Amino acid sequence: MAESVDHQQVHDFLVEIARKAGDMIATAQPHVNTSGHKSNTTDLVTETDKAVEKFVTGALKERYPDYDFLGEETYVPGKRLTDKPTFVCDPIDGTTNFVHAFPNVCISLALCVYRMPVVGVVYNPYTTHMYTAIKNQGSFLTMPVRTDSPSSPAPIAPRKIRLPRKSYPEPLTGLRSALIAVEWGYDRTGENFTVKHKTFTKLAGATEDGGKMVHSIRSLGSAALSFCAVAAGQVDLYWEGGPWAWDVAAGWLVLTEAGGIVVDGNPGNWSPTVDGRRYLAVRAAPSGQKEIVEEFWSAVVGRLGYD
């Protein structure tokens, strides 16, 4: 079955689904006080999350009834990716942003085969930025741009841009010149939280105090869009522990097809799994990827314990 997958056909269908689901997201009216939560009050879920995943599941199962499905809102504890073709869906990645009307929100859709993504689509319906990738075919951003052509039917039209945004990315020269994305996550106590905030402090701290003094640190509120920001070259690295396969599968492919790499968020493992829940994503560069990974690992205070 895996050998017969038409990647282009799947890609086109996922783009179509993402746009329709995006309309559902963009027209919703979420409220902080009416959203539900899962593990705690920072782990939010809305009726829109559930409605979008129901729509996506129905569309995919009608077209591809023999494929597996792994989604955030229908996840069964213990389920992992297998060799079988599997659609992986996060209906709203960035739910906290969504309920606060902060427009860094997306739907993330991927097809994984042999536990690795082969098609990925990440769509932000508020900005209409669409990130797409097919294995061995590169990754792209389709976004609205202003046109000055007198023959253009509209002053703003979509343009498809190959990633990374810079045709000739700069070398990675170390953390002192790096812009890094991180997230607090929804676990606000325990060892993982301690590892995160101590590492954040070391990354930001002055060199005379033992810190790495990175250019700055960003929290985008969406794992999928953070991967895409690294793929585009807008962020140099993204470090995170706690996301699930549906948060990262599509963004992982967008990044690697743009020349970036993904390693473990814990030091030492150069070959993490998509559902391993610990990630360090690094942008494309003509040199310096290995060196900046090792420098970053040296700044991790402890070990993330997500399994």
Q: Which residues carry out catalysis?
A: 72, 90, 92-93, 95, 247
Give CA–CA dist 241/73, Å, rounded. 20
Query: Which letter, b or e, does each residue of 180-196 get, where b requires 16 or more Cβ atoms within 10 Å of its Cβ?
Result: bbbbebbbeeeebbebb
For residue 48, the surrounding DSSP H or E stretch is helix 47-63
Contact 134, 118 (CB under 8 A): yes
Rg of the chain on CA atoms, in Å = 19
Q: Which residues contact 97 (CB under 8 A, 6 or more apart)?
A: 103, 104, 105, 221, 222
Per DSSP, the three-state class of 55 is: helix
